[in-house]
Structure formats: C-alpha cells, structure tokens
Amino acid sequence: MATNKINKKTNLEYLLALNHIPDVMFYHQQKLLKYLDNLEEIFTSPNYLNNLNLAETITAQIRDPNWAGVANDLAFAKEPNHHIVTIFDQTYPPQLKEIAAPPLVLFVAGNLANILTLQIAVVGSRNPTPTGVENAYQFANELATNGITITSGFAMGIDTASHLGAIEANGATIAVMGTGLDIIYPRSNTKLQHKILEKNGTLVSEFPIGTVPLAKNFPLRNRIISGLSVGTLVVEATLKSGSLITAKFAAEQNREVFAVPGSINNLLAKGCHNIIRQGAKLVETTEDILEELAPAINKLKNHQKSVNKSLNLEINLDRDYKKLLECIGYEVTPIDVLIARSKLKARDVIAMLPILELEKLIASAPGGYVRTKTCAKI
C-alpha cells in the first residue's frame, strides 16, 4: 500500500492492525508499548520498524497490515450497541490495565457501562454435576443481587449457570469470548447470547471480528476474565481444568481466589481442593466472598469515583450531554436517530452514551437506548 494512503489512517486503525497480528501484543507488548505514540512510524518507517528488533515474522506482518480485517472491525463498531474500546480510552477498565499483558483493544457488544463496574468472575467445569450447576447459579444470583457484575467465559456448564444466575437476579453479567464477537461459540449457547444482550448484559473480546475458535485463544481469554474482576470463584474443576488457568491468572494479578469445596469422591472437586491448599479461600456462602472482598470493593469504588471526577461527570452542567438526553425518549431510540436529533458528531454521541449510562440516566436496549426515571431530575 502506498505511503500516502497509510498516512491517512487513524491511530485506532493502527491499533486494530497490530491487534490482527497473532500474539504480537501478548509476547511483544512491553517493547511496543514504548512506541504507541508513534504508531504511524511503526507502519510507515522501515528504519523505525527495524530498530524494534522484532521477529521477522512479526515485522513482515506489520509491513503488510490486514487492512481488510481492520475495515471489518470498524464496520462492527458502527452497529447499534457495538463499541471498540482502546487502552487509551477513559472507558477502558482500570483494573484490566493492571495486568501483565492488558489487551490494547476490546470489542464490546451490549451495555458498555458494565465493563467499568465491580466484577467477580465465576468459572468452572464444562461438564459439572447438578450440584455444581446449582452452586454456580446460586452464588452468581446472590452476588448479582448485591450489585456485583458476574463475569465468566460463556462456556457450557458452570459459565452458563453463572450468566443465567446473574440474569435471573436482574443483575449484570459479562461474557468474555474466545472468538470474534460475530461468532457464537459454542453454538449451543446462541439463546444465552441473545438473553445476555436482551437483559442489559455485555459481550467482550480482544479478538478481531472474524476470529474463529482456536484452542490457544481461550487461555488468553481467561486472563481477561480474571483481569476484569476483583476476585475469581471456582465452583467445580478437575486438576487439569481450564478454570484453574483463570485462577492462576487471578493469583498472579494479585486478585482474590475462592473455591467451593466438594466431596473427596468427586473428581470435579479435586481442582478446587488443590487451589485451596495453595491459598484460595474456601467459601460456603456469598457472605464469605463479600467479607473477604470488602477492602477491594471499597478501593475500587473510590477509584471509580476518581475516574468519574476526571471524566467530569457533572453532566447536568454540560450543555451537550443535556442536549443528547433531551433526544432520548422512554421508547427505544436508535443511535443513528440520536445523532440526527442532536446534530452532534457521531463519535461524540458514541462516547457520551456510556457516560450517561454510568450515571443511570439512560439504559441500553436492543436497538438503542431508553430513558430511566432519574432522567426527569436533569
């Protein structure tokens, strides 16, 4: 591609192009993070790129970016309730920035505000016992009732029960996917995906649009599940369960790890017993988790207040926010209608909507946004 065309690319497009290079950020992130202010030069200056001393396979892909894939990513973000959040954005989860290899880009479908909420991960076996399913559902349901967002991996078994427990409590849930958000995996969870989005939940992935299920991507996905959360609860797991990878990430990220004990004759309890021996907290009730997490919960709430202040969330004093609010009715209003009504720039409307949602003045719904009762106070 000619240099004059490359120079017209935005910083977001360069970030997305890097994101299309398999494993580049996970294995070379610390090196590349130093140069994120000069992304254009990485792609356009041969000398600059050579100075990074990357593997030739990586260098070759940077020299020939997947612009078609980037275009697909950007097309995804134009759909209602679809978002691309970069590590530079105020809406990027602060707790996720703290992990060793935070994703540069997050693709989000549904309620964007959920990714900034207090989260607990609930994970476990894909083939649980009936008791394991009941425990996962009950813990998630009670935690969601206490205002905590339930984050899990959208897999069959414990993950599915956790998402459903939060939904049935009218709480928030986040499904972190191991594929692009245009691909449902497993297919048997198609109804669950629809239910999550219909009930104000959220789908999240670091993988570009079109990414198919690959075994290597699911452990990477697990670090995001734990990274978004203040603690991880393992309900049932064998000694070789992928859920223990999530627990391992949580421990490395200095997050709390919890485990539900089981019968010594249950193979699905052995993974839980093993991490309890290694320091995970044995839990029998939701109160066990809430009591242990009280300091972390208070710390995150205080941090969120600081973030809110830096975002200048005194929206009742902001003319543009008030203007946008006046364009949202109690019926579902699509984003394109809001842009037309408000006459604000599309990028500004898309950036403002999650802030209004964080303030509980509006709520996302299939096809757009609706007012909440608190909006009458503005």
Quote the tokens at residue 59.
Answer: 């260098």
Q: How far is CA 96 from CA 15, 73, 216, 230, 315, in A?
A: 17, 21, 20, 10, 26
Average pLDDT, integer, range 287-297: 86
Residue 329 sits in a domain whose CATH number is 1.10.10.10
Pairing of β 202-205 and β 105-110 = antiparallel
Please report which confidence band the pLDDT of residue 13 belongs to, taking 50, 70 and 90 as the band edges: very high
pLDDT for res 301: 61
pLDDT for res 26: 63
Same domain, 367 and 224: no
Same domain, 242 and 181: yes
- Which comes out higher in pLDDT, residue 57 or 154? 154
Same domain, 286 and 320: no
Q: Please check whether residue 167 is in contact with residue 199, taking contact to mean a CB–CB distance below 8 angstroms.
A: yes
Task: Name which of 111-115, 131-135, 204-208 the model is least confident about.
Answer: 111-115
Chain mean position to CA 266: 33
Please report which confidence band the pLDDT of residue 191 belongs to, taking 50, 70 and 90 as the band edges: very high
Same domain, 124 and 262: yes
Residue 133 sits in a domain whose CATH number is 3.40.50.450
Same domain, 132 and 207: yes
Same domain, 169 and 268: yes
Quote the tokens at residue 64.
Answer: 């020939």
Average pLDDT, integer, range 203-224: 96
Mean pLDDT of the chain: 86
pLDDT for res 27: 62
Q: 219 preceded by cis ω (within 30°)? A: no
Q: Is the pLDDT of residue 226 over 90?
A: yes
pLDDT for res 363: 84
Which residues, in sequence order, are CB contacts of 48 under 8 Å at separation 6+? 35, 38, 41, 42
Same domain, 164 and 266: yes
Same domain, 155 and 104: yes
Please report which confidence band the pLDDT of residue 299 belongs to, taking 50, 70 and 90 as the band edges: low
Same domain, 73 and 31: yes
Percentage of the chain exceeding pLDDT 90: 56
Same domain, 227 and 323: no
Please tell me the total count of domains within the chain.
Answer: 3
282, part of any domain: yes
Q: Is the pLDDT of residue 300 over 70?
A: no
Secondary structure class of 121 (helix, strand, coil): strand
Please report which confidence band the pLDDT of residue 34 belongs to, taking 50, 70 and 90 as the band edges: low
Residue that terminates a domain, selected from 236, 271, 301: 301
Please report which confidence band the pLDDT of residue 315 belongs to, taking 50, 70 and 90 as the band edges: very low
Which residues, in sequence order, are CB contacts of 167 under 8 Å at separation 6+? 173, 195, 196, 199, 201
Q: Is the pLDDT of residue 7 over 70?
A: no
Q: From CA 227, how far away is CA 115, in angstroms rounded?
A: 11
Same domain, 235 and 366: no
Residue that terminates a domain, selected from 269, 301, 333: 301
Which residues, in sequence order, are CB contacts of 363 under 8 Å at separation 6+? 111, 200, 357, 369, 370, 372
Average pLDDT, integer, range 148-174: 97
Secondary structure class of 51 (helix, strand, coil): coil
What's the domain range around 42?
Answer: 3-78
